[in-house]
A and B are shown apart, each in its own frame.
Chain A
Amino acid sequence: MLEIRALSKSFGGVKATDNVSLDFADGSLTAVIGPNGAGKSTFFNLITGALRPDAGQILLNGVDMAGKAPPEIVRHGIGRAFQVASIFPSLTVEETMLAAVGADQRRAGVMRRRFPLVETRDRAEHAMELLGLAGKRNRTAATLSHGDQKLLDIALALVLEPKVLLLDEPTAGMGTEERWRMIDKVRELWEKQKITVVFIEHDMDIVFKIAPAIVVLCYGRILATGTPEAIRRNEAVIEAYLGSDDHAGAVA
């Protein structure tokens, strides 16, 4: 269970995250939407430790993550992927996976033994299978297509076996068809892994189609939370976000 309690962060006078409280149940799939500058990425950065909250708590199974450094938060089980694929350009797909698992296991005291261990290989293999990267294991990350780099980024988060997976715009920079493939992948991961997934998404069609729960952020505050149906009908959301002409169709 991930519980956000009264989380706040300001930059200068701007409240990027303003007293946000949210619960993410174990095994839930939640979409975070909101206009540009709504504080979606800031929200993720606060949860993962990239930014230090001014106030509030981030409770993962009752343990407060607020103010901890990213590596420690990752070790507690909150993994993330980035809006712009964040990968290791000179390593191959397989090396990336093995290295990530290796780093994870070394902490658990498996130092100096045969690399990769059988377990290392199994975990790496599993993550590559899940993301459909097994066939490209020997490709250097820098030579992968944009979509595959995004998948590799997600694989990096997933290979650490997180309890909560945060995906910052998994479909950013993709064409329509690729978007749907990616989002199907996200849903498939969620169903198979039974982990808590929170993702940021711009495309309303996608959000309404696959997310059982939606959080709408606006100016750093929670505007609404609920099921796709409830969000569609929510007056405040329609006015603030969906009311613009491009999304009129989606609302109706």
Chain B
Amino acid sequence: MTELRAGQGAQTLAPPRIEARPQRYRDVLIALAAFVVLALLPMMFGSKQLLDFVIRCAAYGLFATSLNLLVGYTGLISFGHGMFFGLGAYGFGLMMQKTGVPIPVAFLVTLAITCVIAVIIGAICVRLKEIYFAFVTLAFQMLIHSTILSWQSLTGGDQGLRGGIPRPPFLGIDLSNHLHLYITSCALLVIGLLLMRQIAQSPFGYTLRMIRDNATRASFIGIDVWRAKLVIFVLAALFAATGGMIMALFVSGAYPEFAYWTISGEGIFINMLGGVTTFLGPMVGTVLLLILNDTVTRLTEYHGIVLGVVILFFAIGLRKGLMDFVVEWFAQRRGEGRG
């Protein structure tokens, strides 16, 4: 009886998951709608604070969602993903300060540099077993962080990249204008999410799920496990770097904290908060964490304790992220409605 009901529930829920064609158009429509709403926000609310909040959400959201491609989809728990966030911020900042190339060029070159570094680090890391992978990625994060600290002549050491990032206008976009920066960040966020969604739902995305579930079996159906892991490691790094570039533009500089391991920690934290089983979980987690951060730090000095309690609530109380919880709850309700 129960089995029958479970079967029915699954049937009503599952088919759309695999019907990619309609789903892809749906994704594009949702993305467009989200972008329109975000773009209209400045007209409805004049608050600069709100726009700043959204820009930070874009930076951290891209970073956290890309981390979820590794953690949630592939089962690669990276403790060093933040290094690519830092690389993006520093690469872009330095490029603009030292060479004066147009912004799109700096953007693409930064991605290219990130790609090369991610290939090298990834090639070393992805063959390692879980715990070693986690700690070797963390080690690379620390390596990059200390390089930034000690290479003072280039990076400004612990002072960070100061003096602002020059922003020559391009294609009619002037990123020194706050509104332009806002719209550009939103566009990057939406495009980035859409691309990551495409990756997650593509045959390759399902290859990643197979690797996460059972890497041995995956290799016995002809999948080069380490190559697939390397590809997603590099792709995720590119999106994290994009997040870092948004951050660099937002604060008009780059600071060693952007490349510190705590950024990776926050990424993991966000994923735990929002949940890793849904695509938008990390995005929800980002919004939650930033709201928590902003409000709690204003109210008390002991914000670390509050955040700790929150994560304990999610980890021990719910045993999943918020979006996981919501999705399961809806699935259950729907199942009961039909049964």
Contacts from A to B (Cβ < 8 Å): 48, 50, 69-71, 74-75, 79-80, 82, 86-92, 94-96, 98-100, 102-107, 111-112, 114-116, 120, 138-140, 143, 156-157, 160
Contacts and interface: CB of A to CB of B under 8 A. Distances in A.
Contact of A160 (B14, B18, B21, B222): B222
Nearest to B217: A86
A104 B222 CA distance: 7
A89 B213 contact: yes
Contacts of B11: 138
B18 A95 contact: yes
Those 5 A-B pairs whose CB atoms lie nearest each other, nearest first: A102-B203, A99-B206, A88-B213, A74-B222, A138-B14
A153 to B, nearest CB: 8
Contact of A103 (B21, B203, B214): B203
B202 to A, nearest CB: 6
Contacts of B216: 86
Contacts of B214: 86-89
27 contacts: A48-B220, A69-B219, A71-B223, A71-B224, A75-B222, A80-B220, A87-B213, A87-B217, A90-B209, A90-B213, A91-B210, A95-B206, A99-B203, A99-B206, A99-B209, A100-B210, A102-B207, A103-B203, A103-B210, A103-B222, A103-B223, A106-B203, A106-B207, A111-B204, A120-B203, A138-B14, A156-B221
Contacts of B210: 88, 91, 96, 99-100, 103
B116 interface: no
Contact of A70 (B18, B21, B213, B220): B220
A107 B203 contact: no
A98 B206 contact: yes
Nearest to B9: A138
A92 B216 CA distance: 18
Contact of B15 (A80, A138, A139): A138
A185 B10 CA distance: 27
A82 B222 CA distance: 15
A115 B202 CA distance: 6
A86 B220 contact: yes
Contacts of B212: 90
Interface string B249-292: 00000000000000000000000000000000000000000000
Nearest to B202: A115
B227 to A, nearest CB: 9
Contacts of A104: 221-222
Given A79-B220, A99-B206, 14 more contacts: A71-B220, A74-B222, A79-B221, A86-B220, A87-B214, A91-B206, A91-B210, A92-B10, A103-B221, A111-B204, A114-B20, A115-B202, A116-B203, A157-B220
A86 B17 CA distance: 23
A79 B217 CA distance: 11
Nearest to B212: A90
A70 B7 contact: no
A107 B222 contact: yes
Nearest to B223: A103
B126 to A, nearest CB: 15
Contacts of A79: 220-221
B146 interface: no
Nearest to A102: B203
Given A88-B214, A95-B206, A139 B222 contact: no
B328 to A, nearest CB: 13
Given A87-B214, A105-B203, A138 B10 contact: yes
Contact of A140 (B10, B20, B204, B209): B10
Contacts of B6: 143
B10 A115 contact: no
Contacts of A75: 222
